[in-house]
Amino acid sequence: MKCVIQRSLSSDVKVNNTITGKIDNGLVIFVAFTYNDTIEDIKYMIKKIINLRIFDDENKIMNLSLKDINGSILSISQFTLYADTKKGNRPSYSNSLNKEEAIKLYDLFNNELKKENINVETGIFGADMKVNINNDGPVTIIIDSKVR
């Protein structure tokens, strides 16, 4: 499981010109799954994401977590995080989990986040999404559940 996490002042996602998810202060998370991902990967990622100290405290030091600031998450499925660009110029996505299995893990990921009392907004899995991010910082973190 891979996530690209961006600290955001405000963000939204549109499908067919309709907003399907919108947050103010919080994180935009691009999420992808591969073949051997499990609930353990999801739990690891959630614990890491909600406790990352990447929000400024009163001294402008990144010392606060998403939970500390009562922030929200905009979760976006993005299988292209598993692009393999080693050969040629056309990326291969063979390391991305198939759609049927990936949507199950994506839904599980979002539901587990909600169990942490976090407001979670989403795009639509597999849709052509337009994501508008007001990146704060910018702060962008990449986490791979297999690299611990």
Residue numbers annotated as active site: 80
* Angle, helices 39-51/99-114, rounded to nearest 10 degrees: 40
Give the C-alpha separation, 94 to 3, whole Å. Answer: 18
Positive or negative torsion for Cα 69, 75, 76, 82? positive
3-state SS class at 57 = coil
